[in-house]
Amino acid sequence: MTSKNKLSLAAMTWLWLLLSGCSVNYSFTGISLDPSIKTIYIPNFVNRSGNGPPVIGQNFTERLKEYYQQNSSLKIVSSEAAADLIAEGNIVGYTVAPGNALGAPNNPALTGAAIQPGSAGTDRVAQNNLTITVEVKFTNKIDKRQNFTQQFSFNALFPATTPLTSVENGLIDRIFEQLVFDIFNKTVADW
């Protein structure tokens, strides 16, 4: 081996060693986590709203865990002590209200699809609104500035002529999808 080849090999080896210690983190999901954060603990969310299906808290917890597993490199752990992040909370609201809960008959901007004329000058509601509110306490053990407690709420409309029980599961799925997305973005995507 010539001295020129030895020098080239040594330079390439040195460059490889230098660059192997460096890393660049790219994220197409928008996740902005400190690289030292590896774990998250998500205890069961409890339904404190007084309404909704009996397993709604458990179902929400599972959806939240699944989303973190599918959209981040975080490992779900089974204890607070083993976690770098903690996302805990409760379902604090589960309400069904008329689609005109904001006073559609007196507000021209809200009239139309939600209100239909009734008999003898009265109006009747064409849609109802299911709203679910979740309160989340987020703890980041690595960076305490990221800690927060916040309520997240989302709703879905359904025809007033349809019993809630016949559309409830689909509405809950749609609402959970948005709530989980919002919580994930607030906690680790920093959007």
Over the chain (191 residues), what is each successive 10-residue block's mean pLDDT? Answer: 61 52 43 87 98 97 98 96 98 91 41 45 76 98 96 97 96 98 92 52
pLDDT at position 189, please? 85
Residue 99: the pLDDT is 82
Q: What's residue 101's pLDDT?
A: 41
Identify whether the C-beta of residue 189 lies closer than 8 Å to the C-beta of residue 30.
yes
Single pTM value for the model: 0.74
User: What is the chain written as a DSSP string?
Assistant: --HHHHHHHHHHHHHHHHHHT------SS-----TT--EEE-PPPEE-SS-S-TTHHHHHHHHHHHHHHHHSSPEEES-STT-SEEEEEEEEEEEEEETTTTTGGG-GGG-STTEEE-GGG-EEESEEEEEEEEEEEEEESS-GGG-EEEEEEEEEEEETTS-HHHHHHHHHHHHHHHHHHHHHIIIII--
- Looking at residue 33, its pLDDT comes to 80
Task: Identify the pLDDT of residue 113.
Answer: 43
Domain ranges of the chain: 34-189
Give me the CATH topology for the region 34-189: Double Stranded RNA Binding Domain (3.30.160)
Spatial separation of the C-alpha atoms in residues 95 and 164, rounded to whole Å: 11
